Amino acid sequence: MITFIPFYFSLKIPAMICITLAMTCMVLYLRDFKTKIADFYSVIIVLSMIYIWSGYFLPQTVL
């Protein structure tokens, strides 16, 4: 189990980086519209990114 956790975590790090880059690109793309709808979507994207990151880190702290 101890050898499994770092391998499992090393697989998650590239996924977290890709998710973060994709989310920031979407936020920057939506900010170019300069509308209330784009700000609303950017807030949703940031909240979902925080939710995804917490979903990655909370099981690690439990283990």
The whole-model pTM stands at 0.36
pLDDT at 59: 57
Burial of residue 3, with CB atoms counted within 10 A of its CB: 0-12 exposed, 13-18 middle, 19 or more buried: exposed
pLDDT at 1: 44
Predicted confidence pLDDT, tens digits, the chain (63 residues): 455 555 555 566 667 777 777 777 777 776 666 666 666 777 777 777 777 776 666 555 554
CA distances from 19 to 4, 24, 29 (A): 23, 9, 15
Domain ranges of the chain: 35-63
